[in-house]
Chain A
Amino acid sequence: QVQLQESGPGLVKPSDTLSLTCTVSGGSVNSGYYYWSWIRQPPGKGLEWIGYVYYTGYTDYNPSFKGRVTMSVDSSKNQFSLKLSSATAADTAVYYCVRDYSELYRYFDQWGLGTLVTVSS
Chain B
Amino acid sequence: DIQMTQSPSSLSASVGDTVTITCRASQFISRYLNWYQQKPGQAPKVLIYDASNSQSGVPSRFSGSGSGTDFTLTISTLQPEDFATYYCQQSHSTPRTFGQGTKVEIK
Give the interface centre of B36, B96, B100 by most chain A CB atoms within 10 Å. Answer: B96
- Interchain CA distance A64-B101 in the complex, whole Å: 20
Which residues of B are found within 8 Å of A106, using beta-carbon distances?
A: 32, 49, 91
Q: How far is it, in angstroms, between the C-alpha of A109 and the C-alpha of B34 when the chains are bound?
A: 10
Q: Tell me if B55 and A109 are in contact (CB < 8 A).
A: yes
Tell me which residues across on chain B come within 8 A of A46, comparing CB atoms. Answer: 87, 98-101
B67–chain A nearest beta-carbon distance, Å: 14
Contact of B98 among A48, A60, A64 (CB under 8 A): A48
For window 49-98 of chain B, which residues contact chain A by CB distance below 8 Å?
Answer: 49-50, 53, 55, 87, 89, 91, 94-98
Interchain CA distance A109-B49 in the complex, whole Å: 9
| Bound: A96/B1 CA distance, A | 21
Q: Is the CB of A96 within 8 A of B50?
A: no
Which residues of chain A are near B95, meaning CB under 8 Å?
49, 51, 61-64
Cβ contact within 8 Å between A108 and B46: yes
The reply to whether A108 and B36 form a contact with Cβ atoms under 8 Å apart is yes
Interface size class on chain B is: 20 to 34
Given contacts A46-B87, A49-B97, A60-B94, is CB(A107)–CB(B43) below 8 Å?
A: no
Is B97 touching A96 in the complex (CB atoms < 8 A)? no
Q: Are A111 and B91 in contact (CB under 8 A)?
A: no
In the bound complex, do residue A109 and residue B46 qualify as a contact, i.e. CB atoms below 8 Å apart? yes
B26-48 residues with Cβ-Cβ distance < 8 A to A are 32, 34, 36, 43-46
- The reply to whether the CB of A47 lies closer than 8 angstroms to some CB of chain B is yes
A47 in contact with B43 given A107-B34, A108-B34, A109-B55 (CB within 8 Å) = no
Q: What are 24 A-B pairs at a CB distance below 8 A?
A: A46-B87, A47-B36, A47-B44, A47-B87, A47-B98, A49-B94, A49-B95, A60-B94, A62-B94, A64-B1, A64-B95, A96-B44, A105-B50, A106-B32, A106-B49, A107-B46, A107-B50, A107-B89, A107-B91, A108-B36, A109-B49, A111-B43, A112-B43, A113-B43
Given A49-B95, A107-B91, A108-B89; 10 other pairs, CB 8 A cutoff: A46-B98, A49-B96, A60-B94, A64-B1, A64-B95, A105-B50, A107-B46, A107-B49, A107-B89, A111-B45
